[in-house]
Amino acid sequence: MNFDLSEEQQILQRMVRDFSRNRVAPLAEELDRDHRYPAELISQMAEMGLMGVTVPEEYGGAGMDPVSYVIAMEEISAGCASTGVIMSVNNSLVCDPILKFGTEEQKQEFLTPLASGEQLGCFGLSEPDAGSDAAAQRTVAEDCGDHWELTGTKNFITNAHEADVCVVMAMTDRSQGHRGISAFIAPMKTEGVSLTPKEDKLGIRASSTSQIVYDGCKLPKSALLGKLGKGFGVAMYTLDCGRIGIAAQGLGIARAALETSLQYSTERKAFGKPISGHQAIQFKLADMATNLDAARLLTYRAALLKGQGVRHSSESAMAKLYSSEVANDVAREAIQILGGYGYLREYHVERNFRDAKITEIYEGTSEIQRLVIASALLKG
């Protein structure tokens, strides 16, 4: 077993860290305050290959491995967690399923512009009445002979306002339960597609979240992604990949909060010495760093397994569960270390604290991750 990053991974890490420190982090507060989509950052990230990190170069991606993707996601999310989730959705929830299940034509038409960052994608699984119970889909895709007709509402869709394409799940045969769900690639600029206003959120405020309403939206027969009735499996495979991205987002949030805590604690004096000289603070810093490292190792393991092409549902769930809880704990402790200053916007740990919360909710709540892990344990 070797814990060293390859030379290529180290180069990527340095490049993305510099970009995140110099370009992403300085904008994060303004993006958060104004609820502004960071278009200028996303186009620079596209040039760096970050919108399709693991997609082969022949389809517009950077052709790197999943650990490289985790490394890049951590760095971007350390600068701005909203920018991190925009990247993660495009990479994991849109490019990954099209690469795995798409036809050659679908890869040429959709994957190449998405992975190169020329276009942006979103993922339509959740509905107003289908959150944790993802199989309870109400959106219907009716077979109209020469085309599909999509009707229903998708809820809490990240990137919906900027996306060009949605990988969307719909019932093609209600009588079959989850085996009647199919996946589709649906361009957003299609008649019968509309959006509700952006949600006003606690955190990750620079990424848009809204409903997508399909009202008799016509899609060509070629829009089907994967096999008819196999859409639930497509969604679950996709979430196995996506949860690695969110785990990496958690690493970035936690690392940013730890770095601020370290710097502050060496500068701030109390009882005649820097607060880092007091054991009460040292114990907090030690726990934060240890838990962050453990989360990173779980996340790298899930990414390594993905790269080996083996099923990694349980390992992805463990990585996401642990990393998201660490992100919340570390951000909360960071505020405690900074005291009253931590409660102010100026020191950014309050943004880390607000951004961290969603990592325990989206792409499967912590409770759902525990179900996935327990189910794998019990199956043996």
Binding flag, residue 176, ligand CAA (CB under 6 A)? no
Which of 89, 183, 219, 319 lies at the binding interface for ligand CAA (CB under 6 A)?
89
**Contact call for residue 101 and ligand CAA (CB under 6 A):** no
Query: For the chain, where are the E strands, in sequence order?
Result: 121-124, 140-143, 147-158, 165-171, 181-187, 193-195, 209-220, 224-225, 269-270, 273-274
Q: Which two structure tokens, joined as six digits, stand for 73?
A: 């996601």
CB of 235 to ligand CAA, least distance (A): 8
**Should residue 86 be labelled a site residue for ligand CAA when binding is judged by CB under 6 A?**
no
DSSP bridge pairs for 122: 166
Q: How far apart are CA 78 and CA 256, in angstroms?
A: 5
Coil/strand/helix, residue 216 = strand
- Binding to ligand CAA (CB under 6 A) within 222-241 occurs at 232-233, 236-237, 239-240
Q: Is position 364 an interface residue for ligand CAA (rule: CB under 6 A)?
A: yes
- Residue 123 interacts with ligand CAA (CB under 6 A)? yes
Closest to ligand CAA by CB, 1 vs 377, is 377
Whether 127 is a known active-site residue: answer: no
CA distance 356 to 254: 8
User: Nearest distance from residue 327's CB to ligand CAA, in Å?
Assistant: 15
Q: Measured from the CB atom, is 63 or 233 closer to ligand CAA? A: 233
Determine the interface stretch with ligand CAA among 71-79, 125-133, 168-176, 212-220 (rule: CB under 6 A). 125-133
Residue 362 Cβ vs ligand CAA, minimum distance, rounded to whole Å: 4
| Residue 179 lies near ligand CAA (rule: CB under 6 A) | yes
Q: Is 317 in the site for ligand CAA (CB under 6 A)?
A: no
Per DSSP bridges, beta strands 165-171 and 121-124 are parallel
Annotated catalytic residue within 127, 325, 350, 363 = 363
Q: How far apart are the C-alpha atoms of 349 and 343, rounded to whole Å?
A: 8
Taking the CA atoms of the chain, what radius of gyration do you get in angstroms? 21
Tell me the C-alpha distance between 125 and 183, whole Å.
9
Q: How far is the CB of 311 from ligand CAA (least distance, A)?
A: 7
Tell me: does residue 125 bind ligand CAA (CB under 6 A).
yes
By CB under 6 A, tell whether 257 contacts ligand CAA. Answer: no
For the bound state, the minimum distance from the C-beta of residue 19 to ligand CAA, rounded and expressed in Å, comes to: 23
Exposure of 285 by Cβ count < 10 A (0-12 exposed, 13-18 middle, 19+ buried)? middle
In Å, what is the CA distance from 55 to each residue of 97, 107, 117, 165? 11, 10, 12, 17
Q: Are 54 and 65 in contact (CB under 8 A)?
A: yes
C-alpha 377/C-alpha 313 separation (Å) is 11
Region from 38-46, 126-134, 141-149, 343-351 binding ligand CAA, contact rule CB under 6 A = 126-134
Can residue 363 be called a binding residue for ligand CAA (CB under 6 A)?
yes
DSSP per residue, 252-273: HHHHHHHHHHHHHHHH-EETTE
Q: How far is the CB of 379 from ligand CAA (least distance, A)?
A: 10
Task: Kindly tell me which of 72 and 258 has the beta carbon lying closer to ligand CAA.
Answer: 72
Give the footprint of ligand CAA on this chain (CB under 6 A). Answer: 89, 93, 123, 125-126, 132, 134-135, 157-158, 178-179, 232-233, 236-237, 239-240, 313, 362-364, 368, 371-372
Enumerate the active-site residues: 363
